[in-house]
């Protein structure tokens, strides 16, 4: 084997599987990983919340459901940023690996001169990802 010519890949980079395309994209990522078990797989903008959270019912997508249990539940989020809003409260769920998960609350504040600014406050941290309903 010659490095860079006929050697196996050391990294598989997958961009937006299943986003606007077929659900089989997610199943195929597992197949690619199985074909090259020594290769690191990185998924960017993979909509894994939908995949892992049951957005696609197992009764209609049995192959995807099996893939989720075998493969996607083992993934570690290394960067995550999801805006949240509920009843006039705004913020986001944030994580940058290896740091803890954070829930950041945004509040509007007065600058004392008639102007306003947004203040970001970390209101929750955890080693485990928080649920959206918490």
Whole-number CA gyration radius for the chain: 20
pLDDT tens digit sequence for 119-129: 999 999 999 98
Is the pLDDT score of 107 beyond 60? Answer: yes
When mean pLDDT is compared across 12-16, 50-54, 94-98, the lowest value belongs to 50-54
With CA atoms as reference, report the closest residue to 43 among 9, 66, 18: 18
Secondary structure (3-state) at 107: strand
Enter the pTM of the model. 0.71
Is the pLDDT score of 8 beyond 90? Answer: no
The arithmetic mean of pLDDT across residues 92-106, rounded, is: 94
The arithmetic mean of pLDDT across residues 33-43, rounded, is: 90
Question: Please, which pLDDT band fits residue 134 given cuts at 50, 70 and 90?
Answer: low
Secondary structure (3-state) at 89: strand
* Alpha-carbon span 121 to 89, nearest angstrom: 12
Per-residue model confidence (pLDDT) at position 7: 78
* Alpha-carbon span 51 to 114, nearest angstrom: 46
N residues, the chain: 134
């Amino acid at each position: 084997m010659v490095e860079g010519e006929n050697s196996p890949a050391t990294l598989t980079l997958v961009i937006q599987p299943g986003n606007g395309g077929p659900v089989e994209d997610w199943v195929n990522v597992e197949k690619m990983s199985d074909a090259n078990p020594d290769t690191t797989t990185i998924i960017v903008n993979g909509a894994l919340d939908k995949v892992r959270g049951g957005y696609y019912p197992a009764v209609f997508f049995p192959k995807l459901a099996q893939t989720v249990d075998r493969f996607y539940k083992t993934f570690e989020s290394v960067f995550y940023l999801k805006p949240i809003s509920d009843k006039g409260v705004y913020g986001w769920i944030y994580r940058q690996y290896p740091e803890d998960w954070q829930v950041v609350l945004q509040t509007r504040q007065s600058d004392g001169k008639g102007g306003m600014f947004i203040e970001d406050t970390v209101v929750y941290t955890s080693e485990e990802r928080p649920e959206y309903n918490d």
